[in-house]
Amino acid sequence: MKTPRSSAKSRGELKPEVEIENPILICMKRDYVVRASRSRNE
């Protein structure tokens, strides 16, 4: 799963325990990353 450096540092790397406790946030973040990658490609 590839994520932008900014989001990875501000969310994933700083608080990994939050992602584990909140799977919904993971899905939302994953969907956000997909949209970001699509917008870049287009």
pLDDT per residue as tens digits for the range 2-41: 655 555 555 555 555 655 667 777 788 889 989 999 988 7
| pTM exceeds 0.85 | no
> Which range marks the domain in which residue 36 is found?
5-41
Count how many domains the chain has: 1
Query: What per-residue confidence (pLDDT) applies to 35?
Result: 92
- In sequence order, the 6+-apart residues with CB closer than 8 A to the CB of 30 are 1
Cα separation, 8 vs 24, in Å, equals 17
